[in-house]
């Protein structure tokens, strides 16, 4: 079975996915404050990309709490 890594969206066989995710998760935890979409769990490192994703893909009205 092929599955997608929730951190980087790459596909792996089930037996490799667990090992990959442990490495990929560590790499993504190093990012100080990632933005994670609550609808699809996609991880963004850039706030603007995250807001654009939510607004276009999920058609959500996004509060610009982070922008000043």
Q: What is the pTM of this model?
A: 0.42
Q: CB of 13 within 8 A of CB of 21?
A: no
Same domain (yes/no): 11, 39: no
Same domain (yes/no): 10, 24: yes
Same domain (yes/no): 26, 51: no
Dihedral, CA of residue 51, residue 54, residue 56 and residue 57, to nearest 10:
150
pLDDT of residue 68: 40
Q: CB of 52 within 8 A of CB of 60?
A: no
Same domain (yes/no): 3, 25: yes
Same domain (yes/no): 35, 25: no
| Domain assignment of residue 1, given as a range | 1-30
Same domain (yes/no): 40, 56: yes
Same domain (yes/no): 44, 26: no
In a structure prediction context, what are the per-residue pLDDT tens digits for the chain, which is 68 residues long? 788 887 788 888 878 888 888 888 766 665 556 788 888 888 887 888 888 998 888 876 555 444 44
- If one counts the domains in the chain, the total is 2
């Amino acid at each position: 079975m092929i599955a997608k890594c929730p951190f980087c969206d790459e596909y792996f066989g089930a037996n490799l996915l667990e090992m990959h995710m442990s490495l990929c998760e560590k790499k993504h935890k190093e990012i100080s404050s990632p933005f994670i979409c609550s609808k699809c769990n996609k991880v963004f490192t850039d706030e603007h990309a995250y807001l654009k994703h939510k607004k276009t893909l999920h058609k959500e009205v996004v509060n610009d709490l982070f922008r000043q």
